[in-house]
């Protein structure tokens, strides 16, 4: 198929129509644009951000960047349909969440994640992947290994941010790392920090999640209140709970680092500013790992990261409502719920 065969007409899509409502809908297939590639999504992973969009509590809705109806889907992989930019039809690709303009001063300085004209797939400014087709600029796609069929390829998206957090904080062999949270980000962090030679301990409230963390190489597992204070050279807050952010400041040793990856929306009380000064630690806000897609694909391909072990359920697109319910009612253990979109 060449770019001359770009399909036209209507396509199926899943949309959030208002707080609590997921519907199957029909949309025009996006029209060709120079430099873009049409992709058929295979699988879409759901995460806490999708749940916030469903509940109407996402920042993107409240500040007007997004609105209903909303085609979600930012963790996904698919197959190229009509190619441009060096891609061939049938190739497996993962799509980037953040799409930068390449022209603004921040992009010119190489800081694409803070592009002034940023749009984000499935969040604001760019239709999500919970649809029969998605059109993206070629620069927002990364090739997956030939023969990819695995649903867990959707995990490349959360994993790029895990790579960013451990890169920016320089996680390595002399670190004792605490990972708060046993969701997708937390469990990928345990795996990658172990690979980088650090000693890793898991902190969480789900016994099955803590057990999984131990399987991935965590040498101890604690409930938040039981974890040793001032003991860790690096603390990664991956739970997204405001209380856990506060707790991470008790756990980090003097002069250590705290990487905040979970997006906690509730205000934090009881914060003592002087503790930052006397503790001499660095707190890193980890926005996204936009520059790590290729490397992250390699980490899965070489089995450094185990994606299959994180998958809780694979649900057909037609049962999207059921998939959101699974997400909503909090599962124990394996964290990832994935929608099957049909493009595999």
Footprint on this chain of Zn ion (rule: CB under 5 A):
47, 49, 100-101, 104, 107, 115, 117
Supply the minimum distance, in Å, between the C-beta of residue 255 and Zn ion: 32
Residue 161 C-beta: closest distance to Zn ion, Å: 9
Provide the minimum distance between the beta carbon of 140 and Zn ion in the complex, in angstroms, as a whole number.
13
Smaller CB separation from Zn ion, 257 or 292: 292
**CB–CB of 25/69 below 8 Å?**
yes
CB of 132 to Zn ion, least distance (A): 21
For Zn ion, the closer of residues 111 and 231 by Cβ is 111
Q: Which is nearer to Zn ion, 62 or 117 (CB)?
A: 117
Q: Whose Cβ is closer to Zn ion: residue 73's or residue 279's? A: 73
Residues ≥6 apart with Cβ < 8 Å to 223: 203, 204, 205
CB of 106 to Zn ion, least distance (A): 6
Which residue lies nearer to Zn ion by CB, 91 or 237?
237
Closest contact distance (angstroms) between CB of 249 and Zn ion is 25
Of the two residues 223 and 325, which places its CB atom closer to Zn ion in the complex? Answer: 325
254 is written with which tokens? 């003097």
Considering the complex, what minimum distance in angstroms separates the CB of residue 137 from Zn ion?
12
Place of tokens 């760019």: 126
Nearer to Zn ion, 199 or 328 (CB): 328
Tally of residues, the chain: 344
Residue 175 to residue 173: CA distance in whole angstroms: 6
Sequence-distant (≥ 6) Cβ neighbours of residue 326 within 8 angstroms: 312, 313, 315, 337
Closest to 163 measured CA to CA, from 206, 209, 113, 223: 113
Tell which residue, 119, 141, 7, 131, has the closest CA to residue 69.
Answer: 131
The Cα–Cα gap between 178 and 68 comes to 39
What is the smallest separation between the CB atom of 150 and Zn ion, expressed in angstroms? 18
CB of 185 to Zn ion, least distance (A): 9
User: Which CB sits closer to Zn ion, 49 or 191?
Assistant: 49
Residues in Cβ contact with 273 at an 8 Å cutoff, skipping those fewer than 6 apart: none
CA proximity to 78, closest of 5, 10, 127, 148? 148
Nearer to Zn ion, 107 or 198 (CB): 107
């Amino acid at each position: 198929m060449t770019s001359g065969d770009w399909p036209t007409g209507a396509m199926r899509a899943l949309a959030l129509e208002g707080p609590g409502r997921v519907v199957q809908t029909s949309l025009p297939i996006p029209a060709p644009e120079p430099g873009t590639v049409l992709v058929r999504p295979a699988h879409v992973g759901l995460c806490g951000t999708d749940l916030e969009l469903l509940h109407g509590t996402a920042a993107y809705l409240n500040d007007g960047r997004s609105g209903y109806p909303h085609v979600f889907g930012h963790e996904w992989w698919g197959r190229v349909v009509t190619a441009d930019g060096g891609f061939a039809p049938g190739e497996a690709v993962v799509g980037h969440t953040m799409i930068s303009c390449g022209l603004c001063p921040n992009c010119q300085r190489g800081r694409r994640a803070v592009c002034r004209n940023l749009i984000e797939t499935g969040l604001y400014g760019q239709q999500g992947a919970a649809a029969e087709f998605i059109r993206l600029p070629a620069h927002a796609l990364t090739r997956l290994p030939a023969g990819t069929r695995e649903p867990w390829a959707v995990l490349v998206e959360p994993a790029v941010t895990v790579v960013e957090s451990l890169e920016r904080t320089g996680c390595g062999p002399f670190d004792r790392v605490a990972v708060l949270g046993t969701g997708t980000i937390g469990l990928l962090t345990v795996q990658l920090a172990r690979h980088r030679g650090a000693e890793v301990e898991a902190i969480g409230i789900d016994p099955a999640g803590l057990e999984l963390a131990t399987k991935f190489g965590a040498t101890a597992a604690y409930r938040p209140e039981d974890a040793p204070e001032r003991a860790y050279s690096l603390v990664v807050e991956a739970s997204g709970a405001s209380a856990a952010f506060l707790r991470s400041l008790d756990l980090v040793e003097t002069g250590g680092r705290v990487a905040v990856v979970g997006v906690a929306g509730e205000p934090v009380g009881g914060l003592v500013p002087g503790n930052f000064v006397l503790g001499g630690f660095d707190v890193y806000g980890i926005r996204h790992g936009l520059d790590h897609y290729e490397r992250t694909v390699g980490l899965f391909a070489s089995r450094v990261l185990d994606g299959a072990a994180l998958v809780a359920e694979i649900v057909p697109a037609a049962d999207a409502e059921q998939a959101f319910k699974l997400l909503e009612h909090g599962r124990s253990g394996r964290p990832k719920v994935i929608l099957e979109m049909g493009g595999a």
